[in-house]
Structure 1
Amino acid sequence: MPAPPEEPVPDYVRVLERAADYLPPEQRPLLRRAWAVGAAAHAGQTRRSGEPYITHPVAVATILAEQRLDVETLVAAILHDTLEDTPLTREAIAGEFGETVADLVDGVTKLDKLHFRDRAEAAAESFRKMLLAMARDLRVIMIKLADRLHNMRTLGAKEPEARRRIARETLEIYAPIAQRLGMNLIKAELQDLGFRALHPWRHAVIERRIRTQPMVRREALTRIEAQLAQRLTKEGFSYRLVSRIKSPWSIYSKMRAEQKSFDQVMDVFGFRIVVRTVPECYHALGVVHAVFKPLDGRFRDFIAIPKANGYQSLHTVLFGPYGSPIEVQIRTEEMDLIAERGVAAHWSYKHGGAGPNSAQSRAHAWIANLVESQRAAGSSLEFLENVKVDLFPDEVYLFTPKGDILALPRNATVLDFAYAVHTDVGNHAVAARVDRKLVPLRTRLASGQTVEIITARSSLPKPQWLEFVVTGKARTAIRHQLKQLEHEDAVQLGHRMLDRALEALGTSLDRLPQVQLDAYLAEHRYPRLEALLADIALGNRVPAQVAQVLARQAPDEADLLDAARAPRPRERILITGSERGVVSFASCCLPIPGDDIMGYHTTGRGIVVHRLDCPNVAEYRKSPERWVPIGWDRQVSGDFEAALRIEVDNRPGVLAQVAAAIAQAESNIDKVEYLERDPHVAVLRFGIEVADRKHLADVIRRVRRLGVVHGVQRL
């Protein structure tokens, strides 16, 4: 461990010690020891501004001391860049300050030493690692937020492009995380600094307008404050009343979101009333409603139903004496502390100390959800996009049938609610009852509704679900399940294809010696037999060639082609149309159940199904080893694409008549386009969905009956 520097203690360390004077006397020397170790490790390193590098981690610790965090967090903050940028090791930190501090420092360490394809991937992977560290100890994210806050305060030394990138990342990720953890003081400063760096001119204009508010507005604010204070005092309250000043960022966001001018946004007076107890909150609400009339529908009770980050308060909007709304928040001192500091409020990691407050327990629940979702996400970038969706603060509050409360992002659907309850509930959801009324899964939810999910074990996720869910958890779970189902379908189809090829050689998969099979898998680097079978189904390996090797035969190319061309009395592979990801239907001939079909084994796409009378089949006959005999199963499900060429009179209303006839036959129209058109006759191409040939015949029959139709032909 490096020896402490011998120079006198600098002012920035004394500032930290003053901010940390709440710590017990026996813990305070640890801060100076941590500074000594950090300063020695960072010796010779400077920031862009020219200051010694150690000033940055000490400033980060000072920000956390202002939030009154414990000594382990402050020590870890002082050392948070040592593992990455200095020779100091994790073992040395653990030996000097304990395993907890070493874990915190390791959790905060960024991933700059790893190589990624691009900056976006590096940032996403860094965030993923930080999240996993957060799951172990929430203090990791607090150090990270304080680190980002000090970097934002000193952003001026960076290049303009770097400033904009860091500011955008701050506004998109770090400020919303601070809000999600209830740390409003840090969130507000991150937003303001991010806005100033990203849009300096807009920030300057709005800030100047706030500073030079007209005298009339200041007088109005004072008069409203006096009226509220007078009535609260008469009622015998012990209270704190403060007027709330909007920040440039909140004004800018509201102007953009609500399409309002600066004057319209500023024409709202805001006050916070802090009282002693919860009953006093409701009593004070009655008092302010007696002074000024409340606006209908603008009251929110976040005490009975706290926000997802633990925030509690009563919100009401009053009709002011000058025609302007007055926004009032009413809360207790404890709620005010949690509203400003969130998870940092009443921090306690000591044995026998107070348990985590609601902000902490909710933060832990949120992070546990994120960890579950990142396990199923395909990549760090996909995971980061999902997290961004969940970080936006507009929420709806919903009830389960048992009365539990769930918070979801605005525009969340019934299906998002199902996945929020449990992944299995989402995967098997079929419909729901919202306030006892039956609704489909895509229904959007509003605050206060009670939602009961109806499930069926046979139900499985559908790709269309991704089009309407809004939460990251739902999107990740659906993608994960679809990939799993595709893999299962591919394994089953590959098994049937390989077995058929082996039967042609007088054997089968079950009769092959295990040693022979294991040797083949090892040689081609397949971890399991399922991976080989899926690869066969996806067209990446030809089953006849795999069968030849497994059966230990080595024919020449002519033998292989003869085997492929030979008549095959064996049963065809039967398909249901629901094989996900491994069977697709050719757009050149649009086969539907009932058609005579063949399959062509295509690399990466699996089996592509064609009608036997498709003009392209002649070309595919040149590659007989890729020809797959297939047919329709008895149980065919789903809708299949078909196309009709319809010749009609060219006059108004005809298109509607044809569309109505198709709809009456219970078929959906995908698209319509004109192929030819003259003054008397028009030729249209209708893309429609049908169940099978019988259904298609019914559609054609209904369309032909129309007097305006001259001819119908399947394309």
Structure 2
Amino acid sequence: MATIPGAALAATPDDLVALVRGYNPRSNEALIRKAWAFGDRMHDGQLRKSGEPYFTHPVAVARILADQRMDDATIVTALLHDTLEDTKASYAQLEREFGPEIAELVEGVTNLTKMQIRSDETRQAENFRKLFMATSRDLRVTLVKLADRLHNMRTIRSMKSEKQAQKARETMDIYAPLAGRMGMQWMREELEDLSFKVLMPEARQSVIRRFLTLQDETDTVIKKIVEDIREVLRREGIEAEVTGRAKKPYSIWRKLQTKDQAFSRLSDIYGFRIICGAAPDCYRILGVVHQRWRAVPGRFKDYISQPKSNGYRSIHTTVSGRDGKQVEIQVRTQEMHEVAESGVAAHWSYKDGVRSENRFAVDPVRWIAQMTERFEGGEDHDEFLEAVKLEMYQDQVFCFTPKGHVIPLPRGATPIDFAYAIHTRIGHACVGAKVDGVRVPLYSRLKNGQMVEIITAEGQTPQATWIGIAVTGRAKSAIRRALREEDRERFIKLGAELARVAFENVGKKATDKALRTAAKALGLDGEEDLLARLGSAELTAREVVRVLYPDLAQRAGEEVDERKAVVGVAPGQAYRRALCCQPVPGERIVGITHRGQGVVVHAIDCPALVDYEEQPDRWLDLHWQEGNHRPVNTVTLELTISNGPGVLGRICTLIGEQSANISDLQFTDRKPDYYRLLVDVDLRNAEHLHRVMTALDAESSVSSVARHRDPRRATVTPPRG
């Protein structure tokens, strides 16, 4: 196997295997080598924008995940994560070579990559929904995607400047906070700083220049303070590891923006960490530190007794150290430190060949499931995006109920947020609040440790002004939903009457089935949503009728000569529609040449095309002739209908009303309460097919209708041309 340049510390499969076996001696070495060889072969000849072989990227992603001590399946997924999108490899091939687990993981990463997140708010919200759903199915999909984005950001300079800015904005808005929310703070900091470097290069340079002028002093301060802390701990007989560091430029910049302080007075430039053996030692160390140095008021946080929602546990305190410099000190145990460093990756990390279970790691699946459930159904995209960002960026405060229960909230939250955090019903009925026994306005900002009592009243409903008062996504979403539903019942009743009249005008009935079908075709949640929009004038009854029973008149234009219906075949060459997929005008098609038989036309998604993957010389790029096609393209529909008098006759009449002809009909199953049958219908094009299927789906006697495709059927029809 040739060496892959540019993949530091994992330039060969031997290097990667050694890295993985360093934390997991029971690792499946053969599987990793097989994935390396497969990925290298699939990406052969492909180059990155930098000019390096493309496979250096999957190798680097695998290296990032190996540093997090991830399991074999995740490492293999990293090596293969671009094969489905960028090579000729198929899902079936991955499943055959590496098993269903890895094939599903690779497909999951591919689906996330295809999202094409943009700055448009609606698209971002849709992508957030998909990302959360993918994460809830298997966390490792998102871990691979985050590692993929991290390496792409590390090598972003080879992209065009516009692409760099787009990727950096995506990273700053979505991937960096996602990494932080999943507890991977180191990754969040690096993603933020790499994005900062692209989006605000001058601001970053100004921070670095200012920091460099203090570099000598900073190095001296860090060394002296680390030694001071070690000395006081030694005198008390406490064993602990002490480290110090300077924070990244973006972290410093953000602090400068939120605090009105001079650069040299900013305590968060210096960070010190004390890692000890057990939780009681943390509090003992805190006492020793506060005895030695003066604590800065208001800068103490105990995340051990009140962990963050991502499982983070640590004690934070700021003290006045040498020369009056304020420094932040974090105290935690080794077990807490592993969660603080790896976050969700701690669920999959290995030690000495055994999966490491960390009792402090919180399963983010629960948070993601709650998030997606909370915003299911009827939520506007911008509301969802707002709520998600609020959840991700929150800096928590902890308040108490009168019974002593702790309610974590984002900093700046109000009694309204507190009420909705307890229960939506409490939030809706809120009329006032007491904080530490004193009546306060609902717009008051809550602080750590306050006791909050919510005053409710029967009959109270949310007020529109509360949206501006609330801070949490949960509260804002619940308030908006309640305001929308106030007039919903009235709109539904009005919409039902409008629909009844409109359907009667065309000789049809506005049945529940018909309304559900129309709602689905219009992209709505159901018949109630459809009727509510009708009643509120967001939708017209004519639009609803048109989607089920459109005017059958064909658009003006010349009728297509069936001998020339397909463009791309040689003059005089015969072509045949494949019966396995039955393509119709309006669908994407390709041709496969057959010696002595002409060209067989397939739909682009026909499964039978797999048989010709290794014969590219037989493929033809085809498309349908523009214009009005005659109804001669047979499509087989599979129907399940109720067994009742006159049902079959109504189905035939309904197809005829759509100007479609039934050329064959075959029953495949007969039961006392239903029939299954195959119906061959002659159609003009894909639009004609859609109209027929929509009309059948709206019929109450039809329980299901689907297009029937059978790869086992003969692949040719009588030739044309």
Same fold, TM-score > 0.5, yes or no:
yes
For 1:325 and 1:117, the matched residues in 2 are separated by: 41
- Deviation sequence 1:528-580 (CA, Å, 0-9, x none): 77567545533478999x9xxxxxxxxxxxxxxxxxxxxxxxxxxxxxxxxxx
Give 2:410's aligned amino acid: P
Aligned to 2:367: 366
- 2:511 is matched with 518
Change (3 A) 1:55 1:297: same
- 1:132 aligns with 133
CA distance in 2, matches of 1:152, 1:468: 37
CA distance in 2 between counterparts of 1:405 and 1:259 reads 31
Conserved? CA contact 2:118–2:124, under 8 Å: no
One-letter amino acid of the counterpart of residue 464, structure 1: T
> Partners of 1:295 and 1:119 in 2: how far apart?
43
Deviation for aligned residue 1:67:
0.6
Moved more, 441-450 or 264-273: 264-273
Deviation at 1:274, TM superposition (A): 1.5
Q: Which residue is 1:159 aligned to?
A: 160
Name the counterpart of 2:16: 16
For 2:31 and 2:233, how far apart are their aligned partners in 1?
A: 47
Whole-Å Cα distance in 2 between the matches of residues 532 and 125 of structure 1?
21
Matched with 1:416 is: 417
2:487 aligns to what?
486
CA contact (8 A) 1:84 1:110 kept: no
Helix, strand or coil at the partner of 2:324: coil
Q: Which amino acid aligns with 2:362?
A: Q
Larger Rg: 1
Match of 1:179 in 2: 180
Q: What amino acid is aligned across from residue 256 of structure 1 in structure 2?
A: Q
Letter aligned with residue 18 of structure 2: R
Partner of 1:96: 97
Instruction: Compute the displacement of 1:143 (Å).
Output: 1.2
Q: What's the offset of the Cα at 1:452?
A: 4.2
TM-score by length of 1: 0.66
Specify the SS of the correspondent of 2:266.
Answer: helix
Q: 1:560-639 maps to which residues of 2 (within 5 A)?
A: none
Are the counterparts in 1 of residues 319 and 328 from structure 2 also a CA contact under 8 Å?
yes
Secondary structure of 1:316's match? strand
Distance of 1:39 and 1:150 partners within structure 2: 18
State how far apart, in whole Å, the 2-side matches of 1:144 and 1:114 are: 12
User: Is 1:289 aligned to residue 300 of structure 2?
Assistant: no
Distance 1:269 1:498 in 2: 68
- CA–CA distance in 2 between the matches of 1:404 and 1:522? 47
Query: 2:164 is matched by which residue type in structure 1?
Result: R
The answer to whether the 8 A contact 1:83-1:105 is kept is yes
Residue 163 of structure 1: how far off its partner (Å): 1.2
Shift of 1:132: 0.5
Of 217-226 and 93-102, deviating more is: 217-226
Question: What amino acid maps onto 1:359 in structure 2?
Answer: A
Higher RCO structure, 1 or 2 (CA under 8 Å, sep 6+) = 2
Distance of 1:425 and 1:51 partners within structure 2? 59
Distance in 1 between residues matched to 2:541 and 2:46, nearest whole Å: 62
| Residue 77 (structure 2) pairs with residue 76 (structure 1) | yes
Describe the superposition over 1:365-406 as per-residue Cα deviations: whole angstroms up to 9, x where unpaired.
321222123314635454233212222142212234554433
Note the aligned Cα RMSD (angstroms): 3.8
Matches within 5 A, 1:263-282: 263-265=264-266, 269-282=270-283
Report the 3-state secondary structure (helix = DSSP H, G, I; strand = E; otherwise coil) of the residue aligned with 1:359: coil
Q: How many residues align?
A: 530
d(CA) in 2 for partners of 1:205, 1:541: 54
Matched, 1:344 2:345: yes
Letter in 2 for 1:368: A
Equivalent-residue separation in structure 1 for 2:129 and 2:540 (angstroms): 39
- 1:656 maps to none
- Counterpart in 2 of 1:679? none
Q: Deviations over 1:304-362 (max 9, x none)?
A: 1112221111122222341222322111112222211122225369999665643333x
**Contact 2:515–2:530 under 8 Å retained in 1:** no
Instruction: Determine the structure 2 residue equivalent to 1:193.
Output: 194
Preserved CA contact (<8 Å) 2:4 2:53: no
Equivalent runs, 1:521-560 vs 2, <5 Å: 525=518, 530=528, 534=532, 537-539=535-537
C-alpha distance in 1 between matches for 2:347 and 2:512: 61
Note if contact 2:396-2:411 (Cα within 8 Å) is conserved in structure 1: yes
- The answer to whether residue 393 in structure 2 is matched with residue 392 in structure 1 is yes
Matched residue, 1:33: 34
The letter for the 1-side match of 2:360 is S
- CA shift at 1:68, angstroms? 0.5
In the alignment, the residues of structure 2 paired with residue 532 and residue 136 of structure 1 have an alpha-carbon distance, to the nearest angstrom, of: 31
Give the deviation of 1:266 after TM superposition.
6.5
Q: What corresponds to 1:642 in structure 2?
A: none
Specify every segment of 5 or more residues in structure 1 that has no aligned partner in the other structure, as ranges: 1-5, 503-508, 547-715
Amino acid at match of 2:511: D
CA change 1:107–1:348 in 2 (3 A) is same
Q: Which moved more, 1:255-264 or 1:178-187?
A: 255-264
Deviations for 1:464-495, whole angstroms, at most 9, x for unmatched residues? Answer: 22222222222233333333333223124556
Query: Matches of 1:379 and 1:406 in 2, distance apart?
Result: 27
Give 1:48 shift.
Answer: 0.7
* Residues 414 and 317 of structure 1, relative CA distance in 2, 3 Å threshold: same
Q: Which residue of 1 aligns with 2:330?
A: 329
Output one character per residue of 1:155-174: Cα deviation in whole Å (capped at 9) or x when no partner.
01011122122122222222
The CA deviation at 1:139 is: 1.8
Q: How far apart are residue 210 of structure 1 and its match?
A: 2.6
- 1:414-467 Cα offsets, whole Å, 9 max, x none, are 222333334444344444444344555443321222334455564333332222
Q: For residue 17 of structure 2, what is the amino acid of its counterpart?
A: E
Amino acid at match of 2:536: L
Match of 1:645 in 2: none
* Secondary structure at 2:65 match in 1: helix
Separation in 2, partners of 1:382, 1:523: 26
Q: Could you report, residue by residue, the CA deviation over 1:495-530 in whole angstroms, capped at 9, with x for unpaired residues?
A: 68999x99xxxxxx9x99x98443995699468775
SS of 2:375's partner is helix
How far apart are residue 221 of structure 1 and its match? 4.0
Supply the distance in 2 between the matched residues of 1:486 and 1:470 (Cα, whole angstroms): 25
Q: Specify whether residues 324 and 72 from structure 1 end up closer, same or farther in structure 2 by C-alpha distance, changes over 3 A only.
A: same
> In the alignment, is the contact (CA less than 8 A) between 1:268 and 1:324 conserved in 2?
no
Helix, strand or coil for the counterpart of 1:298? coil
**Aligned mates of 2:172, 2:372 — CA distance in 1:** 22
- Find the counterpart in structure 2 of residue 254 from structure 1: 255
Are the counterparts in 1 of residues 118 and 170 from structure 2 also a CA contact under 8 Å?
no
TM-score, normalised by the number of residues in structure 2: 0.66
Would the aligned equivalents of 1:429 and 1:456 in 2 still touch at CA under 8 Å? yes
Q: Is the 8 A contact 1:107 1:133 kept in 2?
A: yes
Q: Describe the superposition over 1:645-690 as per-residue Cα deviations: whole angstroms up to 9, x where unpaired.
A: xxxxxxxxxxxxxxxxxxxxxxxxxxxxxxxxxxxxxxxxxxxxxx
Q: Is the 8 A contact 2:512 2:527 kept in 1?
A: no
Q: Residue 17 of structure 2 contacts residue 29 of structure 2 at CA under 8 Å; is this kept in 1? A: yes
Shift of 1:204: 2.8
Question: How far apart, CA to CA, are the structure 1 residues paired with 2:199 and 2:117?
Answer: 26
| CA 356–266 in structure 1, closer or farther in 2 if over 3 Å, else same | closer
Residues 318 and 30 (structure 1), Cα distance of their counterparts in 2 relative to 1, 3 Å cut = same
Of stretches 223-232 and 209-218 in structure 1, the one that deviates more from structure 2 is 209-218
Cα deviation for residue 284 of structure 1 reads 1.2
3-state SS of 2:329 partner: strand
In the alignment, the residues of structure 2 paired with residue 542 and residue 85 of structure 1 have an alpha-carbon distance, to the nearest angstrom, of 45
Letter in 1 for 2:19: A
Q: CA separation of 1:355/1:487 partners in 2, compared to 1, >3 Å: closer, same or farther?
A: farther
Partner of 2:230: 229
1:71-123: CA deviations, max 9, x gaps?
11111122222222233222332333333323322222246768999865544
* Structure 2 match to 1:52: 53
- CA distance 1:405–1:360, shift in 2 (3 Å): same
Q: Does the CA-based 8 Å contact 1:373-1:472 persist in structure 2? A: no
C-alpha distance after superposition, 1:579-619 (max 9, x if no partner): xxxxxxxxxxxxxxxxxxxxxxxxxxxxxxxxxxxxxxxxx
